[in-house]
């Protein structure tokens, strides 16, 4: 019994470490300063969703143990969002409704990004523009650069072992520092 208690704490610590890696990547300044992602709550939420999607997308075809880790990371993300909403002063009665909307947003974006990855770069750039840049036509080059980043991230994550992904955590590529380097 007591060993199960320590294992639970170890699992929780590992889950928070994995989630922390995803958050750290989503907060890379280049996304906001160079690629024009709005540095707002919504923009940061979009980048968190995008990186969580990339990680979960990589683990979706792994064994049940890896899928269980992915679920724990997903749960940690929404627990963190719940706590964050409460910390910024959202009332206790409103938090569950907001979390439900955030979960729906995650699932909607995950479905859009998953389908777009199958269709190719232009479809992915359109999905990114629609979700991250709110269809702002002035941000088309940034949306394409962010789509290129996602494609590169999928490739890089595919090259990492399941053990590394659920152990040390994902290693994401560095974000490009300007959209000029992306193909038009």
What DSSP letter does each residue of 77-137 carry, written as one string? HHHHHHHHHHHTT--TTTHHHHHHHHHHHHHHHHHHHHHHHHH-HHHHHHHHHHHHSTT-G
Cα torsion for 149, 150, 152, 154, to the nearest 10°?
160
pLDDT of 176 reads: 80
Q: Which sign does the torsion angle of CA 152, 63, 82, 22 carry?
A: negative
If one counts every other C-beta atom within 10 angstroms of the C-beta of residue 162, the result is 15
Residue range 70-95, pLDDT digits in tens: 999 999 999 999 998 888 888 888 89
Question: In this structure, is residue 45 part of a structural domain?
Answer: yes
Residue 180 included in any domain: no
Query: What is d(CA 83, CA 87) in angstroms, rounded to the nearest whole number?
Result: 6
Q: Where residue 161 falls among pLDDT bands split at 50, 70, 90?
A: very high
Q: Percentage of residues in the chain with pLDDT exceeding 90? A: 77
With respect to residue 167, please indicate whether it lies within any of the assigned structural domains.
yes
- For helices 140-158 and 41-59, the axis angle rounded to 10 degrees is 30
Residue 10 Cα distances to 4, 6, 15, 16, 39, angstroms: 10, 6, 9, 10, 34
Please report whether residue 154 resides in a domain: yes
Note the pLDDT tens digit of each residue in 25-57.
999 999 999 999 999 989 999 999 999 999 999
Q: What is the pTM of this model?
A: 0.89
How many domains are contained in the chain? 1
Identify the domain containing residue 92 by its residue range. 2-173
Contact between 103 and 46 (Cβ < 8 Å): no
Residue 139 inside a domain? The answer is: yes
pLDDT digits (tens, 9 = 90+) for 119-147: 999 999 999 999 999 877 789 999 999 99
Domain presence at residue 157: yes
> Could you tell me the two tokens for 136?
């702002």
> Within a domain: residue 184?
no
Q: Which pLDDT band holds residue 178 (cuts at 50, 70, 90)?
A: low
Residue 7, domain member (yes or no): yes
Measure the CA dihedral 123/128/131/136, to 10°. -100
What one-character DSSP code corresponds to residue 182?
Answer: S
pLDDT attached to residue 1: 44
């Amino acid at each position: 019994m007591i060993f199960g208690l320590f294992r639970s704490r170890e699992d929780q610590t590992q889950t928070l470490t994995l989630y922390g890696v995803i958050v750290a990547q989503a907060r890379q300044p280049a996304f906001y300063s160079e690629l024009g992602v709005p540095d707002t709550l919504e923009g940061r939420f979009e980048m968190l969703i995008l990186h969580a999607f990339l990680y979960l997308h990589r683990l979706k075809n792994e064994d049940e143990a890896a899928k269980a880790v992915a679920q724990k990371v997903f749960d940690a993300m929404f627990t963190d969002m719940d706590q964050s909403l409460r910390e910024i002063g959202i009332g206790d009665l409103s938090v569950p409704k907001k979390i439900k909307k955030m979960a729906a947003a995650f699932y909607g974006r995950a479905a859009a990004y998953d389908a777009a990855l199958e269709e190719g770069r232009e479809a992915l750039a359109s999905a990114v523009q629609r979700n991250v840049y709110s269809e702002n036509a002035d941000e088309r080059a940034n949306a394409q650069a962010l789509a290129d980043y996602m494609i590169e991230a999928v490739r890089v994550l595919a090259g990492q072992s399941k053990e590394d992904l659920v152990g040390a955590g994902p290693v994401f590529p560095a974000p490009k520092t300007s959209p000029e380097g992306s193909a038009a």
